[in-house]
């Protein structure tokens, strides 16, 4: 694969993983976490071959939060397992379940899955999980979040109590720390900081602009900076369609990418974007984790992320594998206080730029005494957490 030395997370995580220890690993985006669990998983399969050739019991399960990440992890494992007589299967929703059921006939050594589709297949007896020896949660903080909590608990109930568990993510929010700890038995805790020698080469900018001028500013920057491949983050699926449509009408090859699209359409967008056929992909936080677009030069926060954690994951889509990247955030009058809190939590100190011709005129609203990185109104997940806290 052209890799000659382990990254810091690989050097620290592979030895305890090979010793069958539980591992709880936090490392920056683009630091090589996939290989940090893929290599020891495959090595343990080689050292402990299955006992029968008539059925392949699922001995390793890799859970991921999104379809795109499932495809990506499957690609890495399949490439590495090519000559090892191991079968890797990938299952996710948004596509017909029948081909996946056919692929699982005779079993699989390793399954990469999103939780919902995995449960569907288990309910239809298309696979059994009582032989799982190794469980990996990739982007574990998302899987431990309340949005996946019920599905994750149902999956865990199908697994043997005695198993190895590996948790990997770039961030772990305080509210999921206790959930993570309950999953593990005497884990090796690994935290790899982004030291200067290993920090992604990302130039971060913040531009103050009026809300209604963001589209024009984005078009201006694309022309002035000669941007050819841009990942633009917005807050909603509607905004994906709206912003992409405006850019397309202005002569920029832009397309939306969000969860309401079919899986085939989403795969087509990513493939064409990686091949340079689209100038801009406008997306929600669906694309903020796990998506690896080699040499992606620019990402733009058209809408600011809801949390500092999401900011970290978004900018991590660029500046990967040693390449330089630019991360640009648009800050409006309404989101100025929100941006200041993100900066505080991310230990950032970026000057707010003014682009000539786009100087802001809107005034920030008067403070309401109800700030927070996630905005003024509690989200659905905030309400669920509050309800859970009340028992």
What is the mean predicted confidence (pLDDT) over 376-390? 55
pLDDT: which is higher, 149 or 107: 107
CATH 1.10.760.10 fits 8-191, yes or no: no
**Of the ranges 122-136, 243-257, 310-324, 329-343, which one carries the lowest mean pLDDT score?**
310-324
Residue 286 has pLDDT above 90, yes or no: no
For the chain, domain boundaries: 8-191, 201-353
**CB proximity list for 218: less than 8 A, separation 6 or greater:** 232, 247, 300, 302, 330
Same topology for domains 8-191 and 201-353, yes or no? yes
What pLDDT does 367 receive? 65
| Residue 386: pLDDT over 60 | no
* Domain boundaries 201-353, corresponding CATH code: 3.40.50.300
Average pLDDT over residues 85-98: 91
Q: What letters, b where the CB count within 10 A reaches 16 and e where it falls short, cover 59-87?
A: bbbbbbbbbbbbbbbbebbbebbeeeebb
Q: What is the mean pLDDT of residues 262-288?
A: 86
What's the pLDDT at 262? 83
Query: What rounded mean pLDDT belongs to the chain?
Result: 86
Least confident of 5-9, 31-35, 175-179, 367-371: 367-371
Helical spans, DSSP H, in the chain: 8-18, 33-47, 67-80, 98-103, 115-123, 140-144, 146-157, 174-183, 214-224, 237-249, 263-274, 308-315, 336-346, 380-389
Residue with the larger pLDDT of the pair 285 and 209: 209
Give the pLDDT band (50/70/90) at residue 321: low
Mean pLDDT of 297-326: 85
């Amino acid at each position: 694969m052209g890799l000659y030395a382990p990254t810091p997370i690989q050097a620290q995580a592979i030895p305890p993983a090979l010793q069958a220890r539980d591992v709880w690993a936090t490392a920056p985006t683009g630091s090589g976490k996939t290989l940090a669990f893929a290599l020891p998983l495959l090595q343990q399969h080689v050292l402990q071959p299955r006992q029968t050739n008539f059925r392949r019991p699922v001995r390793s399960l890799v859970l991921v939060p999104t379809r795109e990440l499932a495809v990506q992890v499957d690609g890495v494992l399949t490439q590495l397992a090519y000559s090892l007589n191991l079968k890797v299967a990938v299952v996710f929703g948004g596509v017909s379940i029948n081909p996946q059921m056919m692929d699982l006939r005779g079993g699989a050594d390793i399954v990469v899955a999103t939780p919902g589709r995995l449960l569907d297949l288990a309910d239809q007896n298309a696979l059994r999980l009582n032989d799982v020896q190794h469980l990996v949660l990739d982007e574990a903080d998302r899987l431990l979040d309340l949005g996946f909590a019920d599905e994750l608990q149902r999956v865990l109930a199908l697994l043997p109590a005695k198993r190895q568990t590996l948790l990997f993510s770039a961030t772990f929010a305080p509210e999921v720390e206790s959930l993570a700890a309950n999953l593990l038995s005497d884990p090796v805790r690994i935290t790899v900081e982004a030291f200067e020698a290993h920090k992604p080469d990302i130039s971060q900018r913040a531009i103050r602009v009026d809300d209604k001028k963001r589209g024009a500013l984005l078009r201006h920057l694309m022309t002035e900076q000669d941007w050819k491949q841009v990942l633009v983050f917005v807050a909603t699926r509607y905004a994906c369609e709206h912003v992409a449509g405006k850019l397309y009408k202005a002569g920029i090859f832009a397309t939306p990418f969000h969860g309401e699209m079919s899986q085939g359409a989403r795969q087509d967008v990513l493939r064409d974007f990686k091949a340079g056929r689209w100038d801009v992909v406008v997306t929600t936080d669906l694309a903020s984790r796990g998506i690896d677009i080699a040499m992606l030069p620019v990402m733009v926060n058209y809408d600011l992320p809801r949390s500092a954690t999401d900011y970290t994951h978004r900018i991590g889509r660029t500046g990967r594998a040693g390449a330089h990247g630019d991360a640009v955030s648009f800050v409006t009058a309404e989101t100025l206080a929100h941006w200041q809190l993100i900066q505080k939590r991310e230990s950032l100190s970026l000057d707010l730029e003014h682009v000539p011709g786009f100087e802001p005129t809107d005034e920030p609203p008067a403070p309401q005494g109800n700030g927070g990185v996630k905005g003024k109104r509690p989200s659905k997940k905030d309400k669920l957490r509050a309800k859970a806290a009340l028992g």
